[in-house]
Amino acid sequence: LETPDIDSETPSSNTFIPPSIHTPALLSGSSYTHSSPLPSSITSDPTVPCILGVDEAGRGPVLGPMVYALFYLPLAQHHSLLAETHEFQDSKITSAATRSDLMRAVCTSSTDLYENCGWATRVMSARDISAGMLGKNNYNLNAQAMDATIALIQGVLDAGVNVTEIYIDTIGRPETYQKKLERIWPTIRITVAKKADSIYPVVSAASVCAKVTRDAGLEVCWEAEKKGAEEDQWWGSGYPGDARTKVWLKRSKDPVFGWGSETRFSWGTAKEMLEGKGEVKVEWAKEEVEEENGLRMTDFFSKGEGEDELVDWFGKRVTEEMEVF
C-alpha cells in the first residue's frame, strides 16, 4: 500500500452526510449497499449507452469501513459533464470541501449531475473485513474487494442500465483482474488500470462518492464513540501512521475485548496492541464444555447402541412417514 497523505485522508468536521450513510447499520458494524435512483436521462431512454466507473476509499486504515463506489452516466456526456463542467478529479488530490460540494450536487435533485448520473456504494464494515481475513478460509481483502465490485456492477445491470464501457481502478495486477471481469461480462468493454481515478472522469466521480461516504461514516462513528472526549482525543484519519489514531487505540482499548466494531482487528497495528505485555490472554475452548454428569452437547445427537428414537426422528425428512409419540 502507498503511504497515505494523512491530512487529505482526515475527514473534516463539516463533511456532507450523503444518503449512502445508513447510521443504524454503520453503528452496528454491519456491511450494506446503497443505490441511488436511476437518473431521468436513463429512465427516459433505457437503450442509451452508458459508461461506468469503480473506485474505493479506506483500503489501508485500521479504523472505519472500506467503501467501494461506482458511478455511471450516458457515454455521450462523460467528458462534457464530469471533466469540463464539474472538473471531477481523483479524490486524493481534491480538497475535502470540494469533494463535499460535488457529492452534494450529485445528491441534489435540481442539478444536472442528479438528472444524468447514478451511483452506488458498498460499505464494508471493519468488523466484517476482519472476520473474513481472520476466518478459517482466509477471505482476504482483495477477494472481498473483488466480490463487492462485481456485486455493485451486477446491481446496475440488473436495474436495466445499458452499460457498454466499464473503467476500474485496479486491485493487484490489472491484467488478471480485467480478464476475470471479461469472463463475467464478455459483451462489455472493460478497462482495469492503475491510477484509473486520475485518468477517467467517471472513475474520479466514483472516487469522490467512495471518499465522501467513508469520511462521513468515520465522522458518524466518532460522534457515537467520543462520549464527551475532548477535540485533542479525536481518532484522526484512522490510518496506522496517524499519531492520533494510535493514541486513541491505546487509550480506548479494553484489555480483554480490544475495541468495538469500528476497528479492524486483522490489521497489524491492532494485533500488536492486543498481544503486547500486560494484556489479558484468552484461549477459546476447542471442545464442547462438559456438564457435571460428564455429557457433552453432541452426545445427545450421537446414536448409541439401542438408541434410535430421537436420533432417527430428527434425522428424517418431513416428507417421510413418522411415528406420532
Element (H, E) at 55: strand 50-57
Largest separation between any pair of C-alpha atoms in the chain: 81
The annotation status of 90 as a binding-site residue, yes or no, is no
Q: What distance in Å separates the CA atoms of residue 102 and residue 95, rounded to the nearest whole number?
A: 11
Residue 104, classified by CB atoms within 10 Å of its CB into exposed (0-12), middle (13-18) or buried (19+), is middle
In DSSP terms, 50 is beta-bridged to: 74, 163
Q: What distance in Å separates the CA atoms of residue 69 and residue 42, rounded to the nearest whole number?
A: 19
The annotation status of 165 as a binding-site residue, yes or no, is no
The annotation status of 169 as a binding-site residue, yes or no, is yes
Q: What distance in Å separates the CA atoms of residue 136 and residue 51, rounded to the nearest whole number?
A: 38
Q: What distance in Å separates the CA atoms of residue 90 and residue 198, rounded to the nearest whole number?
A: 5
Q: Which residue has the cell 428424517?
A: 316
Residue 76, classified by CB atoms within 10 Å of its CB into exposed (0-12), middle (13-18) or buried (19+), is middle
Cβ atoms 77, 116 nearer than 8 A: yes
Q: What distance in Å separates the CA atoms of residue 102 and residue 86, rounded to the nearest whole number?
A: 8
Q: What distance in Å separates the CA atoms of residue 152 and residue 163, rounded to the nearest whole number?
A: 13
Binding residue positions for a divalent metal cation: 55-56, 169
Binding residue positions: 55-56, 169
